[in-house]
Amino acid sequence: MRRAQRDLVRRRMLHDVPKANVIVTNPTHFAVALRYEENRMRAPRVVAKGADLIAARIRELASEHSVPVVEAPPLARALYHNVEIGGEIPAALYVAVAQVLTYIYRLKASARAAPYRRSR
């Protein structure tokens, strides 16, 4: 029964990876998927996290769904060990997570603003 429950939780968690704004990795052992909706959430939330094989699957799903992956080993470890799936990040990690999200938002904005270039 417990194994079935764990498998169900894992499937739900992996289903939420495409909804993440960013995946924070360490880069090989841990992966933590974060989602933040400015007008709906008080703080970013962990929507998925995993170690080793699950971390690899999270990175694969991120690649398949164009979710940015950022290597930040100390942050990935802190998130993995201190925040449950569905939980808000703690105030102690606000600055680090804000820096990662700002970086991702700026990358996306500059990609949208870049003029279309046609190859000849």
How confident is the model over 58-77, as pLDDT tens digits?
Answer: 999 999 999 999 999 999 99
pLDDT band of residue 44 (cuts 50, 70, 90) is very high
Q: Is the pLDDT of residue 107 over 90?
A: no
Work out the average pLDDT over 74-102: 96
pLDDT band of residue 91 (cuts 50, 70, 90) is very high
Residue-level pLDDT at 113? 75
Q: Is the pLDDT of residue 17 over 80?
A: yes
CB atoms within 10 A of CB 85: 17
CATH entry 3.40.1690.10 includes domain 2-113: yes
Mean pLDDT over all residues of the chain? Answer: 90
